Amino acid sequence: MKAMRTLVRASAMAVTAALLTAPAAAEDGYRLWLRSDAPAEGPIAISRLGDTPTLRLAEAELRRDLPAAANLPVVVALASDPAVSALRLPVAELGNEGYLVRPSSIGGRQVLLITGNTDRGVLYGAFALIRHVASGGQVANATLRSAPKVKLRVLNHWDNLDGTVERGYSGESLWDWWKLPDYRDPRYTDYARANASIGVNGTVLNNVNAKADSLTAPYIAKAAALADVFRPWGIRVYLSARFSAPIEIGGLKTADPRDPAVAAWWKAKADEIYRAIPDFGGFLVKANSEGQPGPRDYGASHADGANMLAAAVKPHGGIVMWRAFVYADTDPEDRAKQAYTEFKPLDGKFADNVLVQVKNGAIDFQPREPFHPLFGAMPKTPLMMEFQITKEYLGQATHLAYLGPLFTEVLEAKTGRGQETVASVVDGESENHQLTGMAGVANIGDDRDWTGGTFNQANWYAFGRLAWDPSLDSAAIAREWAQQTFGTDPRVIGPVVDMMMRSREAVVDYTGPFGLAHLMATGHHYGPGPWVSELQRPEWNPVYYHRADRQGIGFDRTRTGSNAVAQYAPAVAKLYASPRTTPESELLWFHHLPWDYRLKSGETLWDGMVRRYDRGVATVAAMRREWDGLRALVDTERWEKTAAFLAIQEREARWWRDASLSYWQSVNGLPLPAGAAPPEHDLAWYKAQSYPHAPGNPH
């Protein structure tokens, strides 16, 4: 018996020793950039003045993540708390969501105070301090102050009720509609926490290609369950509304927005939603685009449709986000012009609780597009930026493409109206709009690491940070994300940030240099297809966009072509009117040029295109080498997955390069420049490639 007890005791000691010496749990990416953990000796001293669910969350986050060695107690409190208001801090300009973090004296002791005018502001301040420390900063001397420049910072989920996600490359939908409202997956809380950490304050739950069922009582109850989870984190829910819902689920014979019965139906529907979700944010609408129903079906305008819905939600404080992504196959006009043509005349005609949601470019989330001409053209209307976080056209989930530079490239663009930038239009500064917003098409799914890969998380992160403050630097955002994701070791952070900052330009190089766009294969938008010409609608065919022939390549959008340049302010239009003043990165977007056109480098356009394709492939190969060098410094699981993805990216970059050059040569009959490797296969081989079951492709 004694021997048995000795054996049991020895076994228990062995297990304990193993637990103490075993490596940390596998880094599967689930924790995103929120990887800090308070050490075993206990967290820093935290005090909370006041009691709300959101203040309790702020306290809990600090207890979880701040180190005990900080040697300065932290106090979280509303600015209205007597102990804080006595300090007479400059908090008025913080608004409803801003925060102030600073050393202070409360109750006769020195503390680090985190405060704001609302508990949401305090929560954002807590996350700001956590970010500061995780990026190498100290608690003791932390002085942080910020307020969001954009009011609505919203993720658009293109999630369908059957669990699929349009243009989603991270598994199925995060929302388990089948089990809601009864089962609330703990991941919903973790999702809300991640969004709150970067300042996202709204989420549209369903696809813009909406089903009317989303507005029925059972699905309203499901949305209400999610709203209950998100509310303490400062996040409101929104729903995409199908414009024909009054017919499909309401029994009406029309959805004409000017019909009183239709307006009454929507008012009753809004009242029903707000009874279930008192803080419901409002509706997002895709109308009269790609087959979706809308007001133009009845001879009404987009303003008529938006304002009718806006009237329904206004008594409850709701808003309408009306998408400007419209084009029709019945309209022979350049697709890049159609949104401007439809919406510019409606400037000033939208209700005051309507935002017109405009994509960053006039076509469709291409790896590079000039900024949308509507920015700067509708001064009387709040314009909401729409970025795509999911990489529909940038290698889907497997290609490393950090989108921070894409976002800032657009936001920093000058509209041509004085010093106005796209960012100053979006944040309301230009025309003093109080209702402002930025939307990002989410890349989140039910994959364990949320986004299908570690570096895809950076795009979700960058969107949130830039929605909070569009003036932030994309490289600085990359660095703080990398430090929170991989730790602060400079041997890791330097190469990682370098890879990130070169990655998007590499995708541009190997998919569409010099402003070429929409060259992807049909439907799934996966892989090259510049030869595609047989699709029913002309603007769905890549040949529509590149217009390559024996003489040259590019879309003439000057006065001799579609004259899309005229939609920009005169200063910008003048810049784009000549190939000599057009930035070479956008050259073929605006001009059809001969293959022997001389670039600023002195080389011909054709030689320059080949060099860009080669540069894109070479950049990916270099990224692979850099990542290989980090093998001993990054956890095995995330390193191996990223290494596999970079191998895929290099192979597919070569595929893009070879297929594209093979096709261009079939058109122009030109040899490759000296030293350029020939395509691996002939054009027929590339044309024969087929991917009918690629993920994210709507069927």
Average pLDDT score over residue span 66-93: 92
Q: What is the pLDDT of residues 308-336, one digit of tens each?
A: 999 999 999 999 999 999 997 677 889 99
Q: Which two tokens stand for residue 156?
A: 């658009």
Write out the residue range of the structural domain in which residue 402 sits: 152-486
Do 402 and 462 contact (CB within 8 A), yes or no?
yes
Q: Which two tokens stand for residue 600?
A: 């600023």
3-state SS string for 255-280 = CCCCCHHHHHHHHHHHHHHHHHCCCC
Same domain, 207 and 98: no
Do 591 and 556 contact (CB within 8 A), yes or no?
yes
Average pLDDT score over residue span 472-479: 98
Model pLDDT, residue 9: 37
Instruction: Determine phi and psi for 383, rounding to 5 degrees.
Output: -110, 130
Query: Which residue, among 16, 32, 40, 21, has the nearest Cα to 450 in the 3D structure?
Result: 32
Average pLDDT score over residue span 569-591: 98
User: Residues with catalytic annotation?
Assistant: 290, 364, 392
Specify the DSSP element, H or E, that contains 159: none
Q: Which two tokens stand for residue 80?
A: 């209205």
Biggest distance spanned by C-alpha atoms of the chain? 99
46 - beta bridge partners? 74
Same domain, 263 and 362: yes
Domain boundary among 146, 178, 210: 146
pLDDT above 90 coverage of the chain, percent: 91
Same domain, 269 and 385: yes
Q: What is the C-alpha separation between 616 and 511, in angstroms, rounded?
A: 8
Residue 251 lies in a domain: yes
Residue 53 lies in a domain: yes
Check which CATH number belongs to the domain holding 65 and give it.
Answer: 3.30.379.10
Count of domains for the chain: 3
Residue 30 lies in a domain: no
- Residue 580 — very low, low, confident or very high, per pLDDT cuts 50/70/90? very high
Same domain, 362 and 256: yes
| Integer CA distances (angstroms), 521 to 310, 509, 527, 540, in order | 38, 17, 6, 10
3-state SS string for 109-121 = EEEEEEEECCHHH
Letter string b/e over residues 410-435, b meaning 16 or more CB atoms within 10 A of that residue's CB = bbebbbbbeebbbbbbbbbebeebee
Residue 442 lies in a domain: yes
- Residue 13 — very low, low, confident or very high, per pLDDT cuts 50/70/90? very low
Q: pTM (2 decimals)?
A: 0.95
Residue 10 lies in a domain: no
Same domain, 124 and 157: no
Residue 40 lies in a domain: no
pLDDT above 70 coverage of the chain, percent: 95
Q: What is the pLDDT of residues 350-391, one digit of tens each?
A: 999 999 999 999 999 999 999 999 999 999 999 999 999 999
Model pLDDT, residue 196: 99
Average pLDDT score over residue span 7-17: 34
Same domain, 204 and 250: yes
Model pLDDT, residue 41: 52
Same domain, 183 and 61: no
Same domain, 536 and 473: no
Same domain, 251 and 389: yes
